[in-house]
Amino acid sequence: MPEELQMVPITVTVNGQRHSLSVEPRLLLVSLLRETLGLTGTHIGCDTTYCGACTVLLNGRSVKSCTVFAVQADQGEVRTVEGLAEDSKLHPVQQAFLESHGLQCGYCTPGFLMSVCQLLDKNPDPDEKAIRKGIAGNTCRCTGYQNIFKAIHAAAESMKGR
Ligand code: FES
Ligand code: FES
């Protein structure tokens, strides 16, 4: 008879809200976010850790949440795309993607937004090379990236002095 899976207690703060729950050790962070907490803005676009659609910030660093176990986020702080806007006002990175047409189908967009937030946090004035490196883990299958680059430059500009 198969042994019962032992549940693991974890506490994780997501977009400022603290959650204490018991999870299976194999549960992925992306599944915790989407299925347990209902935060479906974080997307799943592959099963090979390739696309970056699942990117979130864990303790301020971008991670592919399909490749992190929920238990690894224990005692951690997660920020997802749902946590970007404040007081019904889009985050400057969201606004820049909107205005620069940095998205078409939008499937990849939440992941890009989170990677760009981390990039601009670390480097408020990134050059082309730094931008390419910053979004190297994110794949867009529609736009050809030109408008994404424009959006990142626009976001950097609008965030200066914040
Ligand atoms: S879903 Fe594609 S890298 Fe995570
Ligand atoms: S906008 Fe369609 S995959 Fe990025």
pLDDT digit string, tens, across residues 71-94: 999 999 999 999 999 999 999 999
- Which string of DSSP letters, residue by residue, matches 43-109? ----SSS-S-TTEEEETTEEEEGGGSBGGGGTT-EEE-GGGT-BTTB--HHHHHHHHTT--SS-SSH
pTM metric for this prediction: 0.95
- 115 C-alpha to center of ligand 2: Å? 15
Three-state secondary-structure class, residue 132: helix
Rounded-to-integer distance, Cα 144 and Cα 123, Å = 24
Burial of 20 (0-12, 13-18, 19+ CB in 10 A): exposed
Ligand 2 atom nearest to CA at 104: 1
**What mean pLDDT, rounded, does the chain reach?**
95
Pocket test residue of 28, 34, 40, 44 for ligand 1, highest count of atoms within 8 A of CB: 44
Three-state secondary-structure class, residue 5: coil
Ligand 1 atom nearest to CA at 55: 4
Query: Residue 161 pLDDT more than 80?
Result: no
- 143 C-alpha to center of ligand 1: Å? 18
Nearest CA to ligand 1 atom 1: 44
- 117 C-alpha to center of ligand 2: Å? 18
Ligand 1 atom nearest to CA at 50: 3
CB atoms within 10 A of CB 76: 18
In tens, the pLDDT along 113-151 reads: 999 999 999 999 999 999 999 999 999 999 789 999 999
Rounded-to-integer distance, Cα 56 and Cα 35, Å = 15
Give the closest ligand to the alpha carbon of residue 33: 1
